[in-house]
Amino acid sequence: MINNTSSGVAKISLTPNADSHFSRKGIVQITLLGLLLLLPVTAYFLGHIYYVNLASRITIIAMAAVGLNLAIGYGGMVSFGHAAYFGLGGYVAGISAYHAFDFTPFMTWPFSVPGSDNLLVVWLAAAILCGLLALAIGAISLRTTGVYFIMITLAFAQMIYYFANSWPTYGGEDGLPIYLRNGLPFVDTTNALSYFLICFAGLVLAMAITSRLMKSRFGAALTMARLNDVRLATAGISPYPIRLIAFVISAVITGLAGALYADLNGFVSPTMLSWHFSGELMVIVILGGVGRLYGPLAGAILFVMMETLLGGITQYWQLFLGLVLLGVVLFAKHGVMGWLAGRELNE
Amino acid sequence: MSVTLLIEQLLNGVQLGTMLFLMASGLTLIFGVMGLINLAHGSFYMVGAYATAAVTASTGSFLIGLGAGIAAAALAGALVELIVIRRLYHRPHLDQVLATFALILIFSEGTRFIFGSSPLRLSPPSWLTGFVTLPGDTRYPIYRLVLIGVGIAISIGLYLLISRTRLGMRIRAGESDREMIGALGVNISKLYTLVFALGAGLAGLAGALVGALQSVQVGMGEPVLILAFVVIVIGGIGSIKGALFGALLVGIVDTLGRVYLPIFFRAFMPPSEATGVGAALAAMLIYILMAVILAFKPKGLFAAHD
């Protein structure tokens, strides 16, 4: 506690240096976002649909990582179970499309709920369900801290994984195909570029919400809950609800990314819920730089590019991923964004 | 018939529990002494199984293979501790999780690179195959009984090691005050390497023994690792007693749930539906158990210390 307090003070005294980093950081950020937008558009008009879909994949993974970054980076809650929300979002999209395709109701009792192939309905349902799941898991997990929190979030995600794996109605371990991508009024979502732009809007919105949130009173409270929760409690704010709300928002963002991912692939399976994916999301957040707004984006670009390029060369690419990750954790603590854009002041 | 089934499944549960204990005791020791969360523990389980399968295949002796498996896992543990883990003791848990996650990727892909993707064959030695007849006409495989016996022997051995020997005294001292035993002249880094190798060796033993029952393949350690996490969270992280209790609880509840929940639902549901619901619920059962226990005791049943 005393260590935390003194480093908190040290950080505040560093504030005057903020401007010297701003321009470099700003340029890097605009470049990343600009490239992510311009390259797929160019690829689309050159007729390379594959690269448009690759960009959609990067964007969605980045959005999921933005959600996790809110919990890990800003809230200090090391969740090892965010695949649960990603997968749940995906299953909402899949199950909804399944029932809309079959004209069967999702449930009939106590009230009738039909399926829907409207993306707005799917997103709303995914957001609400992921929020409720995170509320339940968070309410139990946040009673604990440290290693317990890591293992409990992992265990709950495994619970959802095994449930999806052994529940036969929606394909069990074989997964559930989405025959026709869920649609929007007036937009052709089956067009690769339109769908990429939807995903891009989702990512930018998620980042804007994170940024807005962290500049608010709530964000200040969340930061203090991470640095020194006793101090926050002394100021008359209870840390538990602050953390819980941040955890729920984080899960909703990741869940919406999951819904987008299922519709992108036209397929949802328990793999989206697996603990490997939770680990990969954490890896992306760390590779990019923990607790930085653009960190998840940088991490997702790096991760998916490594997967695509190394995966094309060798089937053992995860061996190299492991070595790179080990190197980053042991020797380069501030991630890609720390290397490109200089250190963040509130790290 | 149903008594036979119950006895058989109870024994299966105890057998799963004792193997989980071999994993969980290492994890909980490593956390208790070094404050480290080690995801790569499942990799030592896999290393033990692969080494046992490879050596058994070339020497023809399961016992030599088993010895080689334990030695390989302990050696891998010691090496990993020396090269990577010791840089992580003073790092936040997030770094420990990621570095050990990276180790999983390296171990899994490395193993796939060396041995290929198809599972290796490892069967129990011929003198341990066959059945014994237990009271109530239950025929039970000898090998599974041997696993239970090994688990009990290791539990007693660990208890004696920790409560009766000088090494155990140092381990206990390391759990309660790391700085102080360093100041008293105990070589902490050697102690850490030793504890880590001990935990890895136990995981290797479990992997080898279970590998002969199931199959030896890449990623075999991961489901067990997560079960072992549930065990030590239930038992209280850092407590060997908690690990033993938690392991038996999880082993028995999981095994009985998988058998009896579908039967239970069949009483008032169509059979096909009952099997699905029962299986899905059985898969979630130990996590629900964990949630309930944590709701009342956030630090587990036998919380040792923070």
How many structural domains are present in chain B? 1
Residue B125 inside a domain? The answer is yes
Q: Do A151 and B232 touch (CB under 8 A)?
A: yes
How close A125 comes to chain B (CA, Å)?
A: 23
In tens, the pLDDT along B92-114 reads: 888 898 899 999 999 999 999 99
- Domain-located, residue B266: no
User: Are A78 and B279 inside 8 Å of each other by CB?
Assistant: no
Q: Report ipTM for this prediction.
A: 0.84
Residue A344 confidence (pLDDT): 59
What residue numbers bound the domain in which A76 lies?
21-341
Give the amino acid at B50: Y
Kindly report the nearest CA distance between residue A318 and chain B, in angstroms. 6
Chain segment B173-207, per-residue pLDDT in tens: 887 887 888 888 888 888 899 999 999 999 999 99
State mean pLDDT over A275-299.
90
Q: Which of A72, A238, A241 is nearest to A153 (CA)?
A: A72
Q: Is the pLDDT of residue A1 over 70?
A: no
Rounded Cα gap, residues A316 and A306, in angstroms: 12
Distance from CA of A195 to the nearest CA of B (A): 33
The structural domain count of chain A equals 1
The DSSP code sequence of chain B is -HHHHHHHHHHHHHHHHHHHHHHHHHHHHHHHHH----TTHHHHHHHHHHHHHHHHHHH--HHHHHHHHHHHHHHHHHHHHHHTGGGTTTS-HHHHHHHHHHHHHHHHHHHHHHH-SSPBP----GGG-SEEEETTTEEEEHHHHHHHHHHHHHHHHHHHHHHHSHHHHHHHHHHH-HHHHHHTT--HHHHHHHHHHHHHHHHHHHHHHHHTTS-B-TTTHHHHHHHHHHHHHHH-TT-HHHHHHHHHHHHHHHHHHHHHHHHHHHTSS-HHHHHHHHHHHHHHHHHHHHHHHHHH-TT-TT----
Q: Does A16 map to a domain?
A: no
Which residues of chain A does B43 touch, with a Cβ-Cβ cutoff of 8 Å?
Answer: none
The pLDDT value given to residue A216: 94
Quick check: is B303 in a domain?
no
Domain membership of residue B44 (yes or no) is yes
Binned at pLDDT 50, 70 and 90, residue B128 comes out as: confident
pTM, entire model: 0.87
Torsion sign across C-alpha atoms A323, A327, A330, A333: negative
Name the β-bridge partners of A114: A105
Mean pLDDT taken over chain A: 86
Residues of chain B contacting residue A148, judged by C-beta atoms under 8 Å apart: 233, 237, 294, 298-300
Give the chain B residue nearest A314 (alpha carbons): B113
The pLDDT tens digits of the residues spanning B151-163 come to 999 999 999 998 8
Residue A166 has a pLDDT of 84
Which range marks the domain in which residue B75 is found? 2-218
Give pLDDT, residue B304: 57
Residues of B in contact with A325 (CB under 8 A): 98-99, 101-102, 105
Tens of pLDDT, residue by residue over A204-262, are 999 999 999 999 999 999 999 999 889 999 989 999 999 999 999 999 999 999 999 99
Q: Say if B226 falls within a structural domain.
A: no
In sequence order, what are the beta bridge partners of A267?
A177
Residue B246 inside a domain? The answer is: no
Taking only the tens place, the pLDDT of each residue in A52-80 is 999 999 999 999 999 999 999 999 999 99
- The whole-number pLDDT of residue B175 equals 79
Per-residue pLDDT, B44: 96
Confidence bin at A13 (pLDDT 50/70/90): very low
Pick the residue with more confidence: B134 or B306?
B134
Categorize the per-residue pLDDT at B3 as very low, low, confident or very high, splitting at 50, 70 and 90.
Answer: confident
- Option in A159, A275, A330 nearest B99 (CB): A330
B35 versus A298: which is more confidently predicted?
A298
* Residue of B34, B89, B101, B107 to mutate, testing the A interface (most A Cβ within 10 Å of its Cβ): B101
- Is the pLDDT at A11 greater than 50? The verdict is no
Helix or strand or coil: residue A177? strand
Banded model confidence at residue A15, pLDDT cuts 50, 70, 90:
very low
What are the pLDDT digits (tens) for B41-95?
999 999 999 999 999 999 989 999 999 999 999 999 999 999 999 899 888 888 8
Spell out the residues 6+ positions from residue A113 whose beta carbon is closer than 8 angstroms to its own.
A105, A106, A107
pLDDT of res. B306: 45
Query: What is residue B298's predicted lDDT score, i.e. its pLDDT?
Result: 81
Question: B294: which chain A residues are within 8 Å (Cβ-Cβ)?
Answer: 140, 143-144, 148, 152
- B228 lies in some domain: no
- CA B164, CA B117: separation in Å to the nearest integer? 44
Q: Residue A284: what pLDDT?
A: 92
pLDDT in tens, B251-267: 999 999 999 988 888 88
Is A2 inside a domain boundary? no
Band the pLDDT of A22: cuts 50, 70, 90.
low
Region for A184 from its dihedrals, namely left if φ exceeds 0, alpha if ψ lies in -120 to 50, beta otherwise: beta
Provide the pLDDT for residue A109: 66
